[in-house]
A and B are shown apart, each in its own frame.
Chain A
């Protein structure tokens, strides 16, 4: 256990403090041992009475060796299945410098923009790339997957639908008298349809699936979703259809393929109001379904209705161009149940990879790749004609739909050759070519088709049209793209590997990740993302697997899914876990829908009230709204705990309508509430279920569990507690665990059978969400084992209490629990300095001068900082952070005492850039040294922010969300 110091043990590498440090820290907090401390923190009534039942821990070497064997259970067939997932070649420079680089995968979402200019620039490239290729005005910085993006398109169109008109008939009216029907083309991907179903129903949106030619564009319809190229690969000009829709006041969303748009007329030029899709084939591995960055583009008119994160351009304190997240007021942490969406996690790392792919290849390179794929498809279509096979797509990009009588023969022979096609029905095969398809692959496919009709012939290479002259490659002039795209210099400057390597590094240097210093963000659990956990992501046997490949080829993944599910069941105490949700917010939605299905099956259709404590994450009420539920807020007492009297009152008032309580444990205030069992009991007595938000699970593992406290459902943020890196703003994973009575409702998937008995429809495009990053959590759990996981929780609690011990004399700690202890995080109250003009943001920005990322600012209480060190930080790093905070307190005191200027001081002017500190003009009343090197050790590890304090109002008042003209940087 804790006594073991073997260097073989992964726990020794994952947990920061050494044994000596542990003892020193315990002495500082006044606890005799880790066990004594934990006993003081976690109520005895909810402690687990046995160690977690998990397989024995493995060393890093043992794990990698065993996983190599597991990986062999996956077969990397050449997959031409399509359906939104295509094999791609990740340029090695992007793989090595972005995907496999902690400088890119360990940072947090860029809320502290001054230390995130690198990835903000790259995300702005992503937005520009998407807006350009789709022909739209504005794009966001990615969404979870294409199906969710389509669902967000539906709900956006639903929100902006015009008030009822006289034409609307009573039958089609919703409660508000507004149109409520959303038409979906039957040529949309099946997984998109399933997710639309799960999202439409609770909002009272009626989905009608029909062929485009049979759609009734009339009263009652507010929007329509089309796919271009469609699920079979067919391309048609959507302009006349969208025109007709618009004449009826109906808005149109189009799901599309970015690579196709390098050659073909983009949906934006056909009148689309929203365009969505998956950017995976821009260099992001298939990974058995993810993670990939979906995109969402729309018109400027709807920008305030747009879901997800949006990067915008602003200026810093020196008037220089600087990037930041724009229009944060759309987001759930501010708008709560009125938010446009519950989405918080995006897919920043993957969006950055896709953007870098576009930067590396440039517009000409993308056209060339697209033209090559298209030429191969064209050649194959001609070959099908020669063979006398009917190829159904009159116009296509890369996907053919061929009628083959002898499907069984084809299927058997294809499998024999290591090839997957899409078998659409008994006699039709779908073939989607991709960037990696070679002439040899092409010949193999041709031969298989020939054999299917009993002809043993091979194609001449002349069947493939030349790869040059990209525009001419498109045989249908009305569908040719004539507009230019990616004209900004950034997409036309970095085409050699040397240039690309330096561009990526230039951006990386501007950002603080865990490779720089501790990121003490409360509620975010910025722990180590160990290299061994990350390595398998890019192993070909995991990265090149199509999510809809036949089960016989994905046994390796099946084993990981099975074992990870078992482990998460052991950790949560629940009966089953669904790995489908792609983020914590999506887990919340899935969990609420499961609860809803449970009530409905019991005839309790009216149970729609969700009790949510005032201190909850904003995502909770936003998710409840998405699930069609009503939010009732429960008061928090002055101690920060849920006000049990108020809870009783609210539960009583709504006893006939109570669906559930959503509660975070330990609380968002960083405290293990003693009354948690009572709280859960009250909810159950009133017919409700308990949903536990797992954001703070890092204090629970091995000590207590969601089932033990009395919860029925919880989500787990694998990107917090279980070591998936934050990726600079995603990916994430939010699996849900459920008690036995809810297992039958866990989400199903249209392409995977069998589903649970009464499964809710899919919540994600892929059956196991972002499957490839499950490997990280799997590695984390297998290498720590039961003892290591429990130690991790103990050290997380020790580290937080050590910070409390060091800083409580300098800053008031807002809440603590029994024995004056906190759980794994704590809140410092800065509100008393406001009268002197010092605000929490000044402290956050001043920390940058010391080389630290700020703690969480103003959540869950305005005017405070919430600090969470995690178990991975050692005493030395924690001490440096505390020293910085103490020094800042002295600087605050100077302001409060009036010995320094209230406006012109180190706090207000922070962060200080190298340019400002080295300028010949230094107008400030304090020394340059104090600005840049406020403590001796800062010199050795100085991080220079690339911009000064960013002007947020300027950016929101002058919204600009694509790459700014280069002239802006010339000054």
Chain B
């Protein structure tokens, strides 16, 4: 699966899609393949502040559980409630299945993230 070029990526295998001062966050195709069948996504409540590099939730497959790390800081303004009943969307459409929508506190921090090409070579290693 190609890594969309309109997304930015982290070394923790999250992606972020920024538009203006808000952004969607999800996990990458590589991450979902490592996890296997996703069965549950635990997400924060709207209104919560999340900080870059820190855990904002967790994701469970049948055999593993991983923390979700925020690529950038901000306030949660939306949560993808579809994932509650359809966690498998993370497997079938990882770059479409956003988890939280955030109002960014520092949109400029985007420059510290890596682009699709860099991410792709990271996971190829």
Contacts and interface: CB of A to CB of B under 8 A. Distances in A.
A274 B42 CA distance: 22
B62 A956 contact: yes
A952 interface: yes
A650 interface: no
Interface string B85-103: 0011000000000000000
Contact of A334 (B39, B40, B42, B63): B63
Interface in B47-106: 60-65, 87-88
Interface in A931-971: 952-953, 956-957
B42 to A, nearest CB: 8
B88 A957 contact: yes
Contacts of B38: 953
Interface in A61-86: none
A957 B65 CA distance: 14
A335 interface: yes
Contact residue range for chain A? Answer: 10 to 19
A444 to B, nearest CB: 57
A304 B40 contact: yes
Interface string B12-53: 000000000000000000000000011110100000000000
B65 A329 contact: yes
B37 A952 contact: yes
Contacts of B65: 329, 334-335
A328 B64 CA distance: 9
Contacts of B61: 329, 953
B40 A328 contact: no
A956 B65 CA distance: 13
Nearest to A335: B65
A956 B63 CA distance: 11
B87 A334 contact: no
A953 B37 CA distance: 6
Contacts of A956: 39-40, 60, 62
A957 B88 CA distance: 8
B9 to A, nearest CB: 25
A329 B60 contact: yes
B63 A328 contact: yes
A162 to B, nearest CB: 12
Contacts of B40: 304, 329, 956-957
Nearest to B86: A957
Contact of A329 (B64, B87, B88): B64
Contacts of A953: 37-39, 61-62, 88
A772 B40 CA distance: 41
A957 B64 contact: no
A353 B62 CA distance: 30
B91 to A, nearest CB: 9
Interface string A124-137: 00000000000000
Contacts of A304: 40, 42
A952 B63 CA distance: 9
B86 to A, nearest CB: 8
A643 to B, nearest CB: 24
B27 to A, nearest CB: 16
Interface string A115-149: 00000000000000000000000000000000000
Nearest to B42: A304
Interface in A164-219: none
A880 to B, nearest CB: 30
Interface string A818-858: 00000000000000000000000000000000000000001
Contacts of B62: 328-329, 952-953, 956
A956 B62 CA distance: 7
A635 B65 CA distance: 22
A316 B5 CA distance: 40
A178 to B, nearest CB: 16
Contacts of B60: 329, 956
Interface centre among B60, B61, B62 (most CB of A within 10 A): B62
Contacts of A957: 39-40, 87-88
Contacts of A329: 39-40, 60-65
Interface in A291-337: 304, 328-329, 334-335
Contacts of B42: 304
Q: Give the interface centre of A304, A335, A952, A957 by most chain B CB atoms within 10 Å.
A: A957
Contacts of B37: 952-953
A328 B62 CA distance: 7
A952 B40 CA distance: 13
Contacts of B63: 328-329, 334, 858
- Chain B CB count within 10 A is highest, among A328, A858, A956, for A956
Interface string A40-75: 000000000000000000000000000000000000
Nearest to B87: A957
A952 B64 CA distance: 13
B64 A334 contact: yes
B82 to A, nearest CB: 13
A328 B39 CA distance: 11
A465 to B, nearest CB: 51
Interface centre among A328, A334, A953 (most CB of B within 10 A): A953
Nearest to B40: A956
A854 to B, nearest CB: 15
Contacts of A335: 65
Task: Give 9 closest A-B pairs by Cβ, nearest first.
Answer: A953-B37, A956-B39, A952-B62, A329-B65, A329-B60, A957-B39, A953-B62, A953-B39, A956-B62
Interface of A: 304, 328-329, 334-335, 858, 952-953, 956-957
17 contacts: A304-B40, A328-B62, A329-B63, A334-B63, A334-B65, A335-B65, A952-B37, A952-B62, A953-B37, A953-B61, A953-B88, A956-B39, A956-B60, A957-B39, A957-B40, A957-B87, A957-B88
Given A329-B61, A953-B62, A953-B88, 16 more contacts: A304-B40, A304-B42, A329-B39, A329-B62, A329-B65, A334-B64, A334-B65, A335-B65, A858-B63, A952-B62, A953-B37, A953-B38, A953-B61, A956-B39, A956-B40, A956-B62
